Amino acid sequence: MQNQANSISGIRPCIMVRVLSRVKYFIVMSAETRQLSPSVVWNHFEDLNAVPRPSKKEERVVEWIIDFGKKLGFETTCDNCVKPGLGNVVIKKPATPGMEDRPTIVLQSHLDMVHQKNNDTDFDFSTQGIQSYIDGDWVKAKGTTLGADNGMGVAASMAVLSSTDIKHPAIEALFTIDEETGMTGAINLNDSVLTGQIMLNLDTEDDDELCIGCAGGIDTNASLSYTEEATLAGLSGLSISVKGLKGGHSGMDIHLGLGNANKIMNRLLFGTNASFGTRISSIDGGGLRNAIPRESNATIAVANATEMKNHVQNLASEIKAEYATTEPNLSIEISNASTPEKVLPLALQEQMLAAIYVLHNGVYRMSADIPDLVETSNSLARILVKDGQFMAQCLTRSSVDSSKMDLANSLKAAFQLMGAKVEQGGEYPGWAPLPDAPILKTMRSLYTNMFNEEPQVKACHAGLECGIIGKHYPKLHMISFGPNIKGPHSPDEKVHIASVEKFWNFLLNTLENIPHMN
């Protein structure tokens, strides 16, 4: 890989076409990114980012990682794979000489990535490789998510597997699927595919943290079919857009006071029928269940367009002032549009707006036991109103199961009051910390000696696969760490260049100093 990087030094990134599983896709090779240090990690990351890998459509990347393991000559299996892409991948590498007496280490990361792009970005995730570039101290992608979550973890595992000069115990590299939209890879993990005693999960986003616990979660999904009504004569069409929000991870970023496009749109529309004769035709807000919604668009019909415009513009000024610090690029626009032919029934419109208004979004409770840890939260991730169908999605997270269900049931009640059908599922457990685990003691000491500071030992308010994998392997000692990644799950995602090298060196030191276990 180093030779390849050197051969393209000084050349503008080139576009190539590769065929995998009879599907054509484009690779954008970033010469400058490939030459970053450690080059072995960055080259594996660029190779990975050339392969389309959305959640629930990982067939190509699963086939690709299986081929990687087999070419290295290692035992490579697809866990419960009926066909490529329907299971996790495990690649086993023997211990290096002198390390055979250490416990086997599971290096765990997930293959899928969140696919999000800006509205003005022309990009096809199914055929194009992620276009990375260097921006100062960071690596970003051109108008899309970067895939550092969890591509940096995958790349680090690949670098360990392909190495010939790294000291390490026996390695079981576990690459899971579908982490971002349900964690079904971890949920369906075979109970006998791993033999390791220690698992290093490479999927956190602050390089000074050692994560030893995480939140569980549950989805609350609401749906309702309705019969559209013909728009009354004399009404005028208007279009409203909310955009420019930062978005981000609905767990790790939920405490930052960021705007939720679905809640802002609802605030603009609430109560306007009485004053302006507003009738809603459609609303389309948010995208992925685990991302804070950045945009929402609505089409309405009104009796008094001029006054409605003034109302929205005045309210927009107030909202933008409220979010001036956390959302400086928030944009709220209202403009003329063709009058829609169909609208929601008025009674349902009022019930829907009221239900969404009372729906809790954001931090629900802070932990009373762990400083600065969000215990319970909810994100109203998706609202879709169109063609006689209402749909809403929420993701509730908590490190306390009873609090998680308390909040989830309040959401259920709000949707039921508007007559919607509510389904709750996708529940996954939290990860209970083991503060006395030998691996934590070793890694704390290593970190302090390497970087002359104490690491932050924390639990996080995100859904890591550790909790689920721990259900399959209850004796497995687990710890999670990674480089600095900002804005995951959004087109603003970026990874800090220096922290990748720090993360890599820390991983190598950890593998070399794995403690014996009784």
Residue 284's nearest CA partner among 241, 321, 327 is 241
DSSP symbol at 475: T
- Cβ atoms of 177 and 87 within 8 Å: the answer is yes
- Mean confidence (pLDDT) of the chain: 92
Q: Which of 11-15, 281-285, 393-397, 422-426 has the lowest mean pLDDT?
A: 11-15
Closest by CA to 144, choosing from 171, 121, 177, 168, is 121
Tell me the two tokens of residue 105.
């280490």
In the chain, pLDDT over 90 holds for what percent of residues?
A: 82
The more confidently predicted of residues 196 and 25 is: 196
Query: pLDDT of 481-498, one tens digit each?
Result: 999 999 998 899 999 999
Q: CB neighbours of 220 closer than 8 A, spacing ≥ 6?
A: 393, 394, 395, 396, 408, 411, 412, 415, 422, 423, 424
User: Is residue 179 annotated as a catalytic residue, yes or no?
Assistant: yes
The span from the CA of 506 to the CA of 403, in Å, is 36
What does the pLDDT average to over 64-75? 97
Catalytic one of 32, 79, 179, 207: 179
Does residue 118 or residue 328 have the better pLDDT?
Answer: 328
How does pLDDT run across 154-165, given as a tens digit for each residue?
Answer: 999 999 999 999
- Is 112 catalytic? The answer is yes
**Mean pLDDT across 64-71:** 97
Determine the pLDDT at residue 84.
Answer: 67
Res 196: pLDDT: 97
Three-state DSSP state, 512: helix
| pLDDT for 426 beyond 90 | no
Residue 9: which pLDDT band, with cuts at 50, 70 and 90? very low
Residue 267 has pLDDT above 60, yes or no: yes
Q: In sequence order, what are the residues at sequence separation of 6 or more whose Cβ sits closer than 8 angstroms to the Cβ of residue 452? A: none
Are 197 and 439 a contacting pair, CB within 8 Å? Answer: no
Q: How far is CA 100 from CA 1, 104, 342, 516, in A?
A: 28, 9, 70, 11
Where do the domains of the chain lie, and which CATH numbers do they carry? 55-119+153-215+431-512 (3.40.630.10), 218-428 (3.30.70.360)
pLDDT at residue 5 in the model: 31
Reduced 3-state DSSP string for 163-214: CCCCCCCCEEEEEECCCCCCCHHHHCCCCCCCCCCEEEECCCCCCCEEEEEE
**Phi and psi, residue 392, nearest 5°:** -140, 145
Catalytic position from the list 32, 47, 63, 112: 112
User: 262 and 356 in contact (C-beta within 8 Å)?
Assistant: yes
Is omega for the bond preceding 169 within 30 degrees of 0, making it cis? no
- Say if residue 395's pLDDT is above 50: yes
pLDDT digits (tens, 9 = 90+) for 379-389: 999 999 999 99
* pLDDT for position 20: 43
